[in-house]
Amino acid sequence: MSTLLALGAAALYLPRLEDAPRYLVTDEVFSALTAHSVATTGRDPHGAFLPLYFQMDLPKGGRPMWFQPILVYAMATVLKVQPLSEGAIRLPMAIAGVVNVVLIYLVGRQLFGRELLAVAAAVMLALTPVHFMYSRYAMDFQAPLPFVLGWLLCVMTYLKTPNPRLLFAAGLMLGVGIYSYIAAVALMPLYLVLTCIVLALRHERAGRYAILAAGFALPLLPSIPVLLNHPTLLRDVAAHYQPDGAPATAGAADSFATLFSSESVADALSLYARFWNPRFLFIDGPLRSTDATWLVGVFLLPLAGLLLVGVVRALGRPLAPVTVVLMAGLVTAPIPASFAGQAEAIRRALELVPFAVLVGIVGLEAFWATKASAARIVAFAAFWALVIALAVASHGHVPQAQAYVRAATVPLAVAMLALVVDRVDAAYLGRPRVLIAVLIALAVVQAAYYLGAGLLVSLALAGLFAATAWLRRQATAPEHVAMAAALFLGVLSSELTFHYVDYPIPRLGPIPATVLVLTVRMAAAALVLASACAIAWAARSRADRTNAEAIASVAVVAALGVQVAYFYVDVFTNPVLRFLHVAVIVAGAAGVAAWWKTDESTNRLGPLTAVGLLGLAALQFGYFYKDYFTSFQARGSGAAVGNVRLALETTLDRVGDRPVPGIYLARLRNESPGLGATYAKFYLLKKHRPDLVDRTAEGDEYMGFEADRVAALPPGSLVIVNPSTRNEQTIDRMSAAGDLRRDQLLKAPDGTPMFWILERTSR
């Protein structure tokens, strides 16, 4: 199974790394150039030989930033066998994303002891939008996750098999993980403390703590001489995360004191609270910067319900070792990110993702039991009600939100139908009194719709469900139970045919149009009702002669089919096809209910929740995935950092191998000073033109270019500049004087005019 999950995740995560995301962000470029230098010379761009930490020229307050080594060395390893490109530098993190999926599956097997739940954990992580997106950046935000999951796997395995080697491995994972991302410096010791709490709850002897500590300390030994030889390193890192406007400090102690001042802590608490905003988590994600182009939350909608049930269940056993680890990991993950001074900066708190998924699967596990107790039924209803509420709330933000509402109602509908059709004797359905009652009900419903009393129909549907559920538990005449069930199915059929089927009926002589429409609607509802009853009782009679495993397998597939069919209920415009589509949905749901609910001792809430969860997640992720590779890459591309790629690659493709005296980059719109030349170096190396690196210069004037510098360029030199009113005037003047020739105006994918490519000419 782990191999299948890895292959599935790879099929999702590895395609088109070179152009999705379309543009490299600043950190990717610095890491890529550093990795390229290490791969080709063994030294970083500053001349250090295989350093433990990498100095990046991203100054803040006049001080550089230091990057953790794991991702840079992983990228350098790839660049030893592949040429420099966006796809090559992003490959290590994409592979790490696939590894995370396999690791959480292995953790799930140890944690839940049930294959389906472990697979559900892996699938939910693979389909988590934020995990997918940050697995495709050459940035180390998500680099700690393999080490966190490796530590979790060791701890969960240790709880079942208390081998001290597992504790050493757990500590080793945390120690090595410190070199993955700056936030790991705070989180990995915290996870070490969590492991010690687990040992204390198990009353372990002192030697086990020592083994854990030894595993953690061993990877940290190489950092001691580095910190001694670079005493400013800690100060530089602390200065980089100072609040904006904070005064420059003289040393590391002052920097950290400012970072953890009472004012900074108060701000961090405010930012921490925003990490738990349901809109942010489940509807449309962060509001800041380019992340505002998301059409999905950090997590998919169905995880909201699972988290609700999982947290409630975990709080019911607060001192269990597993609960301590999962809940503490969940609530502490955003703490370092909260001190970074950016609201909803999920990229800095991605450790939240695996803990949220695992707590959610704890909620899913709650539905697996021999019998469906009242508490589980309430939890089941609350789970889907929350998902539906969020889907309704996201109507104005997320495409297809109404379809998600429909799909989320299917598990509830199947569970309700299971109660309705259970213990109903089909022989009583054909009795005259039952048929007459159903026909009267269908007529009354159509009249109610005509009079605009649709709300009363919905209330009647709820009342019939309650009455049927109550009657089936009483010593009631079978005919009464059958009548209540038939009335419920009849009103349900009327509801769906009324809302989803149109009836373009021509006039027939003197018969009023209203009478015709009501009659056809009633006949349509009756046909759907008849098909639902036929399928339900055929399935029920067949299920009585089928083993439980076959019942479960068929029911899962059929329930998923009904969910997908209801999601796409509006796919047809032809009234006949739409009617048949609705008939299939109602009959299919009734058939699944009759097939699945076979006896009183069988609880199907677990499988029903799992199939509904994964079905809805797959549907939502499918739309997100399609959007990610299409519209998402264009939205906001005119304001995207790194879109200078458009100009540089176009220019270099047109130049080919011919000599170019020089390239002049005006200070471009979306790049900070010096970054244009840094991006140019990446693309010059990618396009195998290292000879042009030293002949590329960047201007100093923001969104403009110095005419004197351009005029001084040798003929044949290329100029890249943003279009603007002032630039256009200068270009016109120099073109008229014979100093420049307009070559091409490039537009970003969202249509924003972005770059003029000009050529220096000789008079």
Distance CA(349)–CA(320), nearest Å, equals 25
In this structure, what are the phi and psi dihedrals at residue 63, rounded to the nearest 5 degrees?
-120, 145
Q: Which of 596, 629, 660 is the last residue of a domain?
A: 596
My answer on whether 744 and 645 are in the same domain is yes
Q: Cα–Cα distances in Å, from 159 out to 120, 170, 202?
A: 22, 12, 9
Q: Which range is most confident: 280-289, 478-487, 729-738?
A: 729-738
For residues 513 and 519, what is the distance between their CA atoms, to the nearest angstrom?
10
CATH code, domain carrying 751: 3.40.50
CA distance 438 to 442: 6
Q: Are residues 441 and 528 in the same domain?
A: yes
Is pLDDT above 70 for 362? Answer: yes
**Residues 238-263, mean pLDDT to the nearest whole number:** 57
Residues in the chain: 763
How does residue 292 score in pLDDT terms, banded at 50, 70 and 90?
Answer: very low
DSSP one-letter string for 315-332: HTSTTSHHHHHHHHHHHH
Q: 254 falls in which pLDDT band (50, 70, 90)?
A: low
Pair 588, 439 in one domain? yes
pLDDT band of 46, cuts 50, 70, 90: confident
Residue 118: name the closest of 130, 109, 110 by CA.
109
Residue 601 has pLDDT above 50, yes or no: no
Domain residue limits at 752: 637-760
Residue 432 falls within a domain, yes or no?
Answer: yes
Q: Which H, E and C letters describe 631-658, residue by residue?
A: HHHHCCHHHCCCCHHHHHHHHHHHHCCC
How would residue 327 be classed by pLDDT, with cut points 50, 70 and 90? very high
Cis before 162? omega within 30: no
- Asked whether residue 117 is domain-assigned, the answer is no
Out of 546, 568, 596, pick the residue that ends a domain: 596
| pTM (predicted TM-score) | 0.88
Task: Judge whether 380 lies within some domain.
Answer: no
Decide if pLDDT at 149 tops 70. Answer: yes
Calpha distance 694→663 (Å, rounded): 10
Task: Tell me the range of 194-203, 313-322, 493-502 where mean pLDDT is highest.
Answer: 194-203
Task: Give the Cα separation of 652 and 692 in Å (integer).
Answer: 10
Check whether 665 has a pLDDT greater than 90: no
**Structural contact between residues 87 and 17, judged by C-beta atoms closer than 8 angstroms:** yes
State whether 534 and 666 are in the same domain: no
Interval 542-547 mean pLDDT = 72
Given a cut of 60, whether residue 472 has pLDDT beyond it is no
448 with 589, same domain: the answer is yes
In this predicted structure, the answer to whether residue 290 has a pLDDT above a threshold of 50 is: no
Residues 592 and 641 in one domain: no
Strands 663-667 and 718-721: what pairing? Answer: parallel
Higher pLDDT, 132 or 255: 132
Q: What is the DSSP letter of 757?
A: E
pLDDT of res. 584: 92
Which pLDDT does position 96 carry in this prediction?
97
Q: What Rg do the C-alpha atoms of the chain give, in angstroms? A: 32
Distance between CA atoms of residues 404 and 279, nearest Å: 16
In a domain, 496, yes or no: yes
Average pLDDT, the chain: 84
CA neighbor of 635 nearest in space, from 284, 275, 138: 284
In a domain, 583, yes or no: yes
> For the chain, what percent of residues have pLDDT higher than 70?
86
Shared domain check, 680 and 541: no
What percentage of the chain carries pLDDT values higher than 90?
A: 34
Residue 43 bridge partners (DSSP): 49
Domain membership of residue 749 (yes or no) is yes
Of 433 and 159, which is predicted with more confidence? 159
User: Has residue 205 got a pLDDT over 60?
Assistant: yes
- For position 381, what pLDDT does the model report? 84
What are the tens digits of pLDDT across the range 408-454? 988 888 888 887 776 666 666 667 777 787 788 788 877 887 777 76
CA quadruple 201, 204, 205, 211: dihedral sign: negative
Same domain flag for 458 and 550: yes
Which has more confidence, 61 or 563?
563
**Most distant CA atoms of the chain, gap in Å:** 104
Summarised one tens digit per residue, pLDDT across range 76-126 is: 999 999 999 999 999 999 999 999 999 999 999 999 888 889 999 999 999
- Average pLDDT (300-306) is 91
The pLDDT of residue 353 is: 95
Q: How confident is the model at residue 92, as a pLDDT?
A: 97
Q: Same structural domain for residues 667 and 551?
A: no
Residue 575 has pLDDT above 60, yes or no: yes
DSSP assignment string, 197-227: HHHHHTT--HHHHHHHHHHHHGGGTTHHHHH
Residue 155 has pLDDT above 90, yes or no: yes
Please spell the DSSP secondary structure of 512-576, one letter per residue.
Answer: -HHHHHHHHHHHHHHHHHHHHHHHHHHHHHHHTTS-HHHHHHHHHHHHHHHHHHHHTTTS--SHH
Identify the residue with better confidence: 255 or 680. Answer: 680
Looking at the fold, whether 575 and 647 belong to one and the same domain comes out as no
Q: How do residues 477-521 score in pLDDT, each as one tens digit? A: 666 677 777 888 888 888 888 888 887 766 665 666 677 778 888
Q: What is the 3-state secondary structure (H, E, C) of 107-165?
A: HHHHHHCCHHHHHHHHHHHHCCHHHHHHCCCCCHHHCCHHHHHHHHHHHHHHHHCCCHH
Boundary (domain end) residue, out of 596, 616, 651: 596
471 with 590, same domain? yes
- Per the domain annotation, does 543 fall within a domain? yes
Helices vs strands, H then E, count in the chain: 33, 7
Say whether pLDDT at 600 is over 50.
no
Say which residue the tokens 């209203």 belong to. Answer: 514
| Encoded tokens for 323 | 């609960």
Number of domains into which the chain is organized? 2
Residue 527, domain member (yes or no): yes
Poorest-pLDDT segment among 60-64, 422-426, 626-630, 734-738:
60-64
Average of per-residue pLDDT across 6-34: 93
CB-based burial, 96-118: b 16+ in 10 Å, e otherwise: bbbbbbbbbbbbbbbbbebebbb
Q: What is the mean pLDDT of residues 724-752?
A: 86
* Alpha-carbon span 536 to 429, nearest angstrom: 12
- 545 plus 653 within the same structural domain: no
What are the tens digits of pLDDT across the range 58-68? 655 556 778 89
User: Confidence band (pLDDT; 50, 70, 90) for 227?
Assistant: confident
Mean pLDDT is highest, among 168-177, 491-500, 527-536, 600-609, for 168-177
Q: Cβ distance 603 to 371 under 8 Å?
A: yes
